[in-house]
A and B are shown apart, each in its own frame.
Chain A
């Protein structure tokens, strides 16, 4: 019954999770603990690498203690220490990796460096039970449509510039929305009260999407029309969501048709959005398919997903030697050899 400790800190969330696998394969994985601490900036401000790394350094040991206490494990019980190797922000990633290395050397445990995107996918699959879905991975840092093929998670479509969550977060800053609990959550609440649809550019490019043009457009719209009173922030939030999510639905549907899959798995922070889940659900239903999504415990960056993906890799005999436990800001999803699937 192997137990893995997972440490995540690629963006502004510091997450630590402890997971237990049943190696007889009879029961699903057991989440022993999953603790997260989010670095929230004042309204109108994003989070910068240096301050984010400082936040992680300030709270990681406390979160680790809490996670081990809740899981009721001691260092002796842990079999492998998993950490986010990338992609993400440099200094925050390294701050977490340094702690992971220290623990591994003190406790004499092997380490596994995990790809953040794969963490999301594997946790989504584990929690929802989706067998072989098209994965829509949407967050502040990534926007990818992924399908599994021959031991790799292949990227079918992605953003050509910024991630959708980045687009939403930056617009929330323009509006001065609070970053608590997250800017995207507050845009979603505003959008629920929107009444008028404002046409925005729609930029799907084949299997890919691009968001920076839409962002510039809506920023200048907000600048001109909010003061004039011709449009409300709620209308803008509503219109932005409608447009962005419709684009995602289109590229996901294209991948489903291409691969012949009937399942869609939504992962990443933006996947928490109920409007996106609803729109994706409508599309899937029309095709006789189904949408799988998890709740905010697993959608938003967390440590348990790192533990999950790490333990899956470890159980196939994979281990990251100490000198390779560096972090990298660019780490493609298809770089990882998925040995634990057929």
Chain B
């Protein structure tokens, strides 16, 4: 896990697939964000505010055996809304056989709490799939 402090914003990247190659590189849905951002004359704080309103983000890409299972996970986990909507934003999408999760939180603590809670439910989904899936 690398803490990115270069832009005054912390970014935690847990994906095994996307390796952190430098402090200014952040992965965003598989697309590399342009480095040109930091060369702009505007203070980086402004840019960061327009891009990420909550300040602390987490991007996850979780591989599933098949697109069908990734889609089931996405549908299942999207039903429950976050409790503190003013402090936590969570977006789930299924992209092929990957479940993509994006968190944006107003504090490190909220990010930790939401992510932990999410992982608890995610492991329920994956264990259930492991033990009870039927062959289609």
Contacts and interface: CB of A to CB of B under 8 A. Distances in A.
Contact of B124 (A99, A322, A323, A326): A99
A7 to B, nearest CB: 11
A326 B80 contact: yes
B134 A107 contact: yes
Given A57-B124, A105-B72, A106-B72, A98 B132 contact: no
Contact of A98 (B77, B81, B133, B134): B77
A232 B70 CA distance: 60
A121 to B, nearest CB: 27
Contact of A99 (B80, B128, B134): B128
Interface string A33-75: 0000000000000000000011001001100110000000001
Contacts of B120: 53-54, 57, 95
Contact of B75 (A57, A76, A94, A322): A322
Contacts of B121: 94-95, 98
A83 to B, nearest CB: 12
A54 B124 CA distance: 10
Contacts of A65: 131
A325 B79 contact: yes
Contacts of B108: none
Interface in B51-106: 72-73, 75-77, 79-81
Contacts of B110: none
Interface string B111-135: 0000000001101110111011110
Given A61-B132, A64-B132, A102 B72 contact: yes
A98 B131 contact: no
Contacts of A101: 75-76, 79
Interface string A315-334: 00000001101110000000
Interface range for A: 20 to 34
Contacts of A76: 134
A326 B132 CA distance: 22
Contacts of B123: 57
Interface in A284-330: 322-323, 325-327
A75 B132 contact: yes
Interface-central residue, B76, B77, B120, by most chain A CB under 10 Å: B76
A103 B132 CA distance: 7
A284 B98 CA distance: 62
Interface string A93-114: 0110111011101110000000
Contacts of B133: 106
A103 B75 contact: no
B79 A102 contact: no
B124 A98 contact: yes
A106 B129 contact: yes
Nearest to B127: A61
Contacts of B134: 75-76, 106-107
Nearest to B78: A323
A64 B134 CA distance: 15
B127 to A, nearest CB: 6
Given A61-B128, A75-B134, A102 B76 contact: yes
Contacts of A57: 120, 123-124
Contact of B79 (A103, A106, A323): A323
Contacts of A105: 72, 75-76
A103 B131 contact: no
B114 to A, nearest CB: 13
Given A107-B134, A325-B79, A95 B124 contact: yes
B80 A102 contact: no
Given A64-B132, A102-B128, A106-B129, A326 B79 contact: yes
A102 B129 contact: yes
A57 B121 CA distance: 9
A103 B124 contact: no
Nearest to A56: B124
B80 A103 contact: no
10 contacts: A94-B121, A98-B125, A101-B79, A102-B124, A102-B129, A103-B128, A105-B72, A106-B72, A322-B75, A326-B81
Given A98-B76, A102-B129, 16 more contacts: A57-B124, A65-B131, A76-B134, A95-B120, A95-B121, A98-B121, A101-B75, A103-B128, A103-B132, A105-B76, A106-B128, A107-B134, A322-B79, A323-B79, A325-B79, A326-B79
